[in-house]
Amino acid sequence: MDDLLADFLTETNEGLASLDAALLQLERNPSNGAVLSEVFRTVHTIKGTCGFLGLPRLEGVAHAAENVLGLWRDGTLAVTQSGITLILSAADRIRQIVAGLEATGSEPVGDDAPLKAALNAAASGEAPAAAPVLAEPDQAPPTLEEPATPIPTAEPAMEAAATGGNAPQTIRVAVDVLEDLMVLVSELVLTRNQLMQLARAEENAAFAVPLQRLSQITSDLQDGVMKTRMQPIGSAWAKLPRLVRDLSNDLGKRIELEMRGAETELDRQVMELIKDPLTHMVRNSADHGLETPEQRRAAGKKETGRILLNAFHEGGHIILEIGDDGRGLNTDRIKAKVVAQGLATEAELAAMSERDIHRFIFRAGFSTAAEVTSVSGRGVGMDVVKTNIERIGGMVDLVSREHRGTTFTIKIPLTLAIAAALIVEAGGERFAIPQAGVLELVRVGLGDGPKVERIKNSAVLRLRDQLLPLVPLKHVLRLEPETEAPQTEGFVVVTQIGAQLFGIVVDRVFDIEEIVVKPVAPILRHITMFSGNTILGDGSVIMILDPNGIARATGLGLDGAEGTAMQEQAAAPRRRDRSTALLLFRAGAGAPKAVPLNLVARLENLEASRIERTGESLVVQYRGTLMPLVPLDSYAQPPETGHQPVLVFGDGTRAMGLMVDEILDVVDVPLEMDRAGLRPGFLGSCVIAEKVTDILDTSFWLKQGQPDWFETQAVVGTRPRILIAEDSDFFRNLIVPAVMAAGYDVMTVNNGRDALRLRDAGEMFDIIISDINMPELDGFGLARAVREGGAWAELPMIALSSQSEPRDVERGRAAGFSDYIAKFDRDALLSSLQHCLQPMLAR
């Protein structure tokens, strides 16, 4: 019965929305029979349905109005202005009653007798006799309103009238029809693509222009049909308030559920698929996340816990957040469980960030609830959620802070039916990779671009400051036998699964095509590397790769259930702040030398004849400018003939070449420096491959002749931890080795936003060094955000900038920086660090 009533209300509101406009139109043009019929039908429908539903008040009003309208329609009675007024007030009354119905589920109490009498009088015929009656309604509505006003539904009635006026006209269509339409449109898109491909081969074809038009219309049609499948996410949330209410009773907790962005639309197919995971997560929040009122009071929180659902669009995706303000995840308990289940060792955990540890809850069979409750805690939770979400190309992640609560973030594509995909080739076969998962495309192995390196047995790509594990597609798909040597040339499709980045190595990359995802045949469903197949513009069938499946199959990602060897690989990027790639070379006598590889822009082997002498110094014409060459061994002279190996340093505008004797190797080692036997130009020495190796102090060579700065500070027992926010690789690489050599532990981020993410993830530092000009969130913004509150509010912060005018310094201090230092001024930076950390070191 509830559903019937809801349907009736929807229909009636739709009818009422157009009723006023139609009546006014009728008033202007009383002879318009079509409009009159429409009005009559609307009122008639209302009357008929409410009789069936047992709504006597509504039926009475509608019936009286229908009588008048019937006479008008038959021509027995002339349409008059006062008559229209009367019908309008009847429509208002209907609205008022409907609003009451919507609010309470039953008709509000009220007296319609005067209105019905006026309508009946109008219907009873003679215009002269009706005149006095008709004069009345002008005052009538206020008097008639009176019995209604004490009823609280009066106000909703106004609202309903307002929203009713804007309510779009809707029709109900069976879902099957929409699904069929979608399938047809998908086919149309494919055929269009095929035609376009043919047309490309044919120049000046007569059909080029109409084809273009057809293509445009197809795209518009596709958009249109997609829209018909969109539903507000609120409809997937409809059952949650009840669920939360029941849970709060069962669990003895006070829970408030807040839902934001309920109007955010997404494809109904996607919605069906996320409904269950969503319910599960809300259940989890209520059960595990929130504390009992007593616990909350003890923790100084409001007794009523809060669960917040938030939905919004973000570039082709919908983001769903499920957050609570409960106790947060218990990191220690997760750690204990991880170790107990043998998922990682204590040592591995120690190297992980808190956030990475929290992510273990997405592993199969992982539940930290101390005891199994009827609500959740059976250990079949988050992994199922994660699998379900990933199956539809989504991602799930979480942020949790002890005592502050936990927030899960789900990112899902808006639709599953049509997707843009990158067409690639590996081992002679073509494949489609959905563009949603592709972060960037890197060409490797040519010229001075990025190169594939090897760490132990796995191939990695050094991309900016990250080490990406690489998955050679032709090997995982067994198109070609795995060889000893890694694939060094080709393209790397950088893909993200959760927080894990990895690269899929392919041979060639074609263009991006719109593809219609079709499920694979049942006999192929066991191959998890494919999420479907499709037909390309040229008519050929192509398999669609599933990056999630590939990551799982190769054991990448934190949640890969098996494959300990690959876990090591997955851990590689996390260890980036612990080990550094060093370029080994020989120059002059003595120990081999090394320099952080990231600092070196290029390696050149210059022809001796190109090296020129200007006065005391050596230069070479290099990329259109004169680049100074500095011999590392001051007695060394460039060779008369042959070649001179040179390390080129530079940041785009400036360049400097360092002449060395021979380039030896690239190694990845933790940069643990020994400062014994220190001499100018070197940061210290390091044991690499059982040989003492001198680490080059690049800034020394860049600036030449600066006084040594190593006397400034002694290493203390525990290394102070520094966070450096700096977007320029060049400066970062310049600062980090220097600061590390001075005895600090360093972590780097690209911008202020990333820094704050670390804060939110619970990372702690002793001091922050920040650049001023950074993308996303600059230094000033970072300082202000840090000072606003949170765990970092009291940390010393040093600004590092190329602008160090007094007013810049002042602005920095105003934003919350403790000190402001010019870039390149290492001495100032190190002494400032020491100064800022003095209180801590004294402890």
Partner 1 sequence: MQTEVTKASARAPGTGNTDAASMMLTLTVAGQLCAVPVLTVRDVLGVQTITRIPLAPHEVAGSLNLRGRIVTAVDLRLRLGLPPREPGQVAMSVVVDVGGELYSILADQVGEVLSLSAEGTSPNPMTLDASWKEFSLGVHRQGDQLLVLLDVERLMALGV
Residues of the shown chain interacting with partner 1 in the complex, contacts defined by CB under 8 A: 187, 190-191, 427, 429, 477-479, 518, 520-524, 526-527, 529, 533-535, 539-543
Which one-letter amino acid corresponds to residue 731? F
In terms of CB distance, is 162 or 541 closer to partner 1?
541
Q: Shortest approach of partner 1 to residue 559 CB, angstroms?
A: 22
d(C-alpha 546, C-alpha 392), whole Å? 10
CB of 214 to partner 1, least distance (A): 17
Nearer to partner 1, 190 or 344 (CB): 190
Closer residue to partner 1, CB minimum distance, 147 or 427: 427
Report in angstroms how near the CB of residue 431 gets to partner 1 at its nearest: 9
| Closest CB to partner 1 among residues 475, 593 | 475
Longest C-alpha distance within the chain, in Å? 124
Name the minimum Å distance from CB 541 to partner 1.
Answer: 4
Alpha-carbon radius of gyration of the chain: 36
Cα separation, 638 vs 618, whole angstroms: 9
Overall size of the chain counted in residues: 843
Q: Which of 226, 200, 268, 194 is nearest to 514 (CA)?
A: 194
- SS3 at position 541: strand
By beta-carbon proximity to partner 1, the closer residue of 313 and 508 is 508
Both tokens of 464, joined, read 């900016």
Nearest to 504 by CA among 576, 432, 574: 432
Minimum CB separation from partner 1 for residue 477, in Å? 4
Q: CB of 791 within 8 A of CB of 766?
A: no
Cβ-based nearer residue to partner 1, 541 or 565: 541
State in angstroms the smallest separation of the CB of 503 from partner 1: 19
Calculate the CA 440 to chain-centre distance. 16
CB of 63 to partner 1, least distance (A): 53
Q: Are 282 and 289 in contact (CB under 8 A)?
A: no
Smallest Cα–Cα separation from 557: which of 503, 506, 504, 498? 498
| Shortest spacing between CB 543 and partner 1, in angstroms | 6
State the minimum distance, in angstroms, from the CB of residue 497 to partner 1.
19
Nearer to partner 1, 153 or 218 (CB): 218
Question: Which string of b and e fits 433-466 if b means at least 16 CB within 10 Å?
Answer: bbebbbeeebebeeeeebebbebeebbbbbbebe
Best CA proximity match to 786, nearest among 806, 812, 768: 768
- Sheet architecture: strand order including 819-822: 745-749, 721-725, 767-771, 797-801, 819-822
Residue 72 CB, shortest distance to partner 1, in Å, is: 56
| Residue 188, Cβ density class (10 Å: 0-12 exposed, 13-18 middle, ≥19 buried) | middle
Give 236 or 477: the residue with its C-beta nearer to partner 1.
Answer: 477
In the complex, the smallest distance separating the C-beta of residue 202 from partner 1, rounded to whole angstroms, is 21
Give the nearer residue to partner 1 in terms of CB position, either 526 or 807.
Answer: 526
Q: How far apart are CA 634 and CA 586, in angstroms?
A: 14
Question: Which residue number, 186 or 264, has a Cβ lying nearer to partner 1?
Answer: 186
Tell me the C-alpha to C-alpha distance, in Å, between residue 7 and each of 47, 101, 163, 395, 659.
15, 12, 17, 36, 83
Contact 767, 836 (CB under 8 A): yes
For residues 773 and 442, what is the distance between their CA atoms, to the nearest angstrom?
26
Question: Shortest distance, CB of residue 348 to partner 1, whole angstroms?
Answer: 31
- Classify strands 662-670 and 579-586 as parallel, antiparallel or unpaired: antiparallel
When the beta carbons of 355 and 474 are compared against partner 1, the nearer one is 474
Q: Is the Cα dihedral 381, 382, 383, 387 positive or negative?
A: positive
Tell me how far, at minimum, the Cβ of 523 lies from partner 1, in Å. 4
* Residue 532 vs 812, nearer CB to partner 1: 532
What residues form DSSP beta bridges with 692? 687
Kindly tell me the sign of the dihedral angle through the C-alpha atoms of 703, 707, 712, 714.
positive
Chain CA centroid to CA 703, Å:
43
Contact at 8 Å (CB) between 479 and 427? yes
CB of 191 to partner 1, least distance (A): 7
Q: Is 512 helix (H, G, I), strand (E, B) or coil?
A: strand
Q: Return the number of the residue (518 or 610) whose C-beta is nearest partner 1.
A: 518
Cβ proximity to partner 1: between 172 and 526 the closer is 526
The stretches of 487-586 forming alpha helices (DSSP H) are 547-553, 564-571
